[in-house]
A and B are shown apart, each in its own frame.
Chain A
Amino acid sequence: MSAVSPVIERGTSASRIAGIGVVAIIAMLAIAPQFLSAGSVDRMTALFIYVILAAMWNALAGFGGLVSVGQQVFFGLGAYFAIRLANAGLNPFVSLFVSAIIVGAVSWPISLFMLRLKNGEFAIGMWVIAALTHLLVNLDRLIQGETGTSLISLNVYDASMRRVTIYWLALASMTALLAVLFGLLRGSTGAAIRAIRDNEDAAASVGVRVTGTKRLLFVLAAFGIGVAGALWLATAITFQPKTYFSVQWTAYMIFMVLVGGIGTFEGAIIGALIFFLIETWFGGAGVWYLIGLGATALVFSLLLPRGLWGTLEERFGWRLLSVGYRVRLPAVGAADLAADTTASAQTTTHREKA
């Protein structure tokens, strides 16, 4: 083995096919509203928002090692600022994105403070921030406390045109956010991010800027979740603080990421898809549905902490949207197979360096 020099790969043939597949899927989704019923368009919009939520929570927890149970703060603020901006006369569709930018800006000072907390303290600390923000938003006269208000200016648009526009905005936002995250993870920051995920102290000792990298993820996640909140407002029209600042949103994010596979790029997307299907089939079961979600999250965290995708990836060495590096040993015949076994796949993906 020592005679052969290893080949560094950035993907497998499967991941190249997957890359083409992704482009094809997005293209199909873009023209899908032509063929879908109004109800289906709305559901698909919800799916895109779930994917954003899962990917953003995963960016924070899976890659940054920051488990937050207060991410609903950015969801709620995304909707709130959109209401405020639209009320000030800005075009409602433009408001959605300006709002998310403001959310990202607001998250910066929060990060300066919160990132000094660790693990559980960070998790609940964020929850306190969310609870406080909820109370402060309630004080705004425009919102009228828990009664809430609506994004009235959106009503001037024709309903079907509005529906399709929001669908496309959600699809475009999802694609752009996933692309940014993918680019970030594949680039040099990605190596730092994964080094932090695997061992924060060791990463710091080899010169990784731990806090700066975490801050980047924190702000990105806040921005993305802000987009999601604003888009949700666009589909729902009404804004009730209690609904948007509900910890339920974070529960959904945790469920999606835990089931899909925490710390894997594909896992969050798969988790969102699974959540979407479960919601479609069992959402009507009311409280039992919520019990089921909580219990599933509990079971996954105990028995399958790497989630579905993480487990499959580990067992079969699968890569679809490869963000890491693979070291393959070009040996003769059967040894070629051996290089693709789980052991080497595992070491290559998790011990990688830029």
Chain B
Amino acid sequence: MMNQIVQGILLGGYYALIACGLSFMFSVMRIINLAHGSLAVLSAFALWLLASRFHIPPFLGLAIVLPLMAVIGWALQRFLLERSARGGALLPILTTFGLAIVIDNVLFEQFGADTRSLAPFIGSLSYDSWEWPGSIYVGKLAVIIFVTAVVLLGGLQLFLTRTGLGRSIRATSEDPDTAGLVGVDARRANAIAAAIAMVTVGLAGAFLGMRATFDPYAGATQLLFAFEAAVIGGAGSLWGTLIGGIVLALAQTLGATVHPQGFLIGGHVAFLIVLFIRLYTSGLGLRGLLGLASGKAS
């Protein structure tokens, strides 16, 4: 039992990682990017391609893929989101959904239906583990992912509160017009925020590939995980995302112990329960919940 809880918490680190980009973009640009999961899978495929074709190990491959993801994020904001956001709140949903379909099917066209994994390219790391007291075995990779999530969330928090650029992103998310009056370039702030978000997505994709398998249509599931973790963690700070990820993972673990097919069901049910309680106790809309995952952090 203790063992499962520990594994659940560590898995929560991965969910926090994939969720933080989603909630970051939502908090800054008020856009939920439906291509979020697909972009993570794209990153995983890029690393897989580098590893299998050019023998570049995934951790080294990140040096190529993460800057690329940043460029993708910047371009995404400049050419798609910025334009569609002008047409109201509904259009970005349709735009990013169309993008997700394109990405998924292009990946399918290129790589076929086979499930892939980055595990063969990271040597013994994929199965090495440490023994903790109480004969609990924890995977080294799971710990690395968890620590990365904590460092990334902490780093983002520091970046947003302590740097000028971070402050201008926060100012833009609070009120783009007023931010513009005091000299903040809202377009630039948004594009940088999107680039940062995509770097986190790229990292999440890498870990998705290392800890499990993926296929061209795996993006939808990852999007749902990210969304659920972001909503469960909800209000307050980026750290909420970590808690959300852990709650989601524990609910899935619990679901799996109840029923062999209960893993995903457990997660979805936990999400709906949390949502239900929040909506009926706070009276806030979800905006207040996802709230300012990062912007209002202090």
Which A residues contact B (CB, under 8 angstroms)?
61, 65, 67, 69, 113, 116-121, 123-125, 127-129, 131-132, 135-136, 138-139, 247, 251, 254, 258, 287-288, 290-291, 293-298, 301-302, 305
B158 beta carbon closer than 8 Å to chain A:
no
Is the beta-carbon distance between A139 and B261 smaller than 8 angstroms?
yes
Is the beta-carbon distance between B34 and A67 smaller than 8 angstroms?
no
CA distance A295 to B80 in the complex (A): 12
CA distance A293 to B94 in the complex (A): 12
Selected from A121, A254, A298, A301, the residue in CB contact (under 8 A) with B102 is: A298
Shortest beta-carbon distance from A33 to chain B in Å: 34
Which residues in B have their C-beta under 8 angstroms from that of A119?
32, 89-90, 93
The answer to whether residues A124 and B32 also contact, given A118-B285, A254-B97 and a CB cut-off of 8 A, is yes
CA distance A78 to B161 in the complex (A): 50
Is the beta-carbon distance between A291 and B109 smaller than 8 angstroms?
yes
B216: nearest chain-A partner, CB-CB? A287
- Summed over the interface, the residue pairs from A and B with CB atoms below 8 Å come to a total of 123
B91 beta carbon closer than 8 Å to chain A:
yes
Is the beta-carbon distance between B99 and A302 smaller than 8 angstroms?
no
Which residues in A have their C-beta under 8 angstroms from that of B45?
none
21 sample A-B contacts, Cβ–Cβ < 8 Å, listed by A number:
A67-B93, A69-B93, A69-B97, A116-B285, A118-B285, A118-B287, A120-B34, A120-B92, A127-B220, A128-B268, A128-B272, A132-B269, A287-B109, A291-B102, A291-B106, A294-B104, A295-B98, A297-B94, A297-B97, A302-B84, A305-B91
Is the beta-carbon distance between B93 and A123 smaller than 8 angstroms?
yes
CA distance A136 to B105 in the complex (A): 27
Closest 8 CB pairs of A and B: A294-B101, A120-B32, A298-B98, A297-B98, A132-B268, A294-B102, A121-B286, A301-B94
Q: Which of A129, A301, A302 has the most CB of B within 10 A?
A: A301
Is the beta-carbon distance between B224 and A128 smaller than 8 angstroms?
yes
Q: How extensive is the interface on chain B, given as a class? A: 35 or more
Is the beta-carbon distance between B105 and A127 smaller than 8 angstroms?
no
Is the beta-carbon distance between A120 and B26 smaller than 8 angstroms?
yes
Which residues in A have their C-beta under 8 angstroms from that of B109?
287-288, 291
B87: nearest chain-A partner, CB-CB? A305
CA distance A139 to B265 in the complex (A): 11
Shortest beta-carbon distance from B237 to chain A in Å: 19
B108: nearest chain-A partner, CB-CB? A287
Q: Which of B84, B90, B272 has the most CB of A within 10 A?
A: B90
Shortest beta-carbon distance from A135 to chain B in Å: 5
B227 beta carbon closer than 8 Å to chain A:
yes
Which residues in B have their C-beta under 8 angstroms from that of A116?
279, 285-286
Which residues in B have their C-beta under 8 angstroms from that of A254?
94, 97-98
Is the beta-carbon distance between A121 and B32 smaller than 8 angstroms?
yes
Is the beta-carbon distance between B34 and A136 smaller than 8 angstroms?
no
Which residues in A have their C-beta under 8 angstroms from that of B224?
124, 127-128, 131
Q: Fill in one digit per residue for B249-282: 1 if any A CB lies within 8 Å of its CB, else 0.
A: 0000000000101001100110110011001000
Selected from B26, B92, B94, B105, the residue in CB contact (under 8 A) with A258 is: B94
Is the beta-carbon distance between A301 and B32 smaller than 8 angstroms?
no
Is the beta-carbon distance between B105 and A291 smaller than 8 angstroms?
yes
Q: Which of A61, A113, A124, A129 has the most CB of B within 10 A?
A: A124
Selected from A117, A120, A132, A302, the residue in CB contact (under 8 A) with B93 is: A120
Which residues in B have their C-beta under 8 angstroms from that of A127?
220, 223-224
CA distance A119 to B84 in the complex (A): 14
CA distance A118 to B279 in the complex (A): 12
Which residues in A have their C-beta under 8 angstroms from that of B31?
120
CA distance A251 to B26 in the complex (A): 23
Which residues in A have their C-beta under 8 angstroms from that of B223?
124, 127
CA distance A258 to B87 in the complex (A): 13
CA distance A154 to B261 in the complex (A): 31
Shortest beta-carbon distance from B226 to chain A in Å: 9
Which residues in B have their C-beta under 8 angstroms from that of A290?
101, 105
The answer to whether residues A302 and B83 also contact, given A118-B287, A291-B109, A297-B101 and a CB cut-off of 8 A, is yes
Which residues in A have their C-beta under 8 angstroms from that of B108?
287
Selected from B95, B276, B290, the residue in CB contact (under 8 A) with A301 is: B95
Which residues in B have their C-beta under 8 angstroms from that of A295?
98, 102
Is the beta-carbon distance between A294 and B93 smaller than 8 angstroms?
no
Shortest beta-carbon distance from B57 to chain A in Å: 30
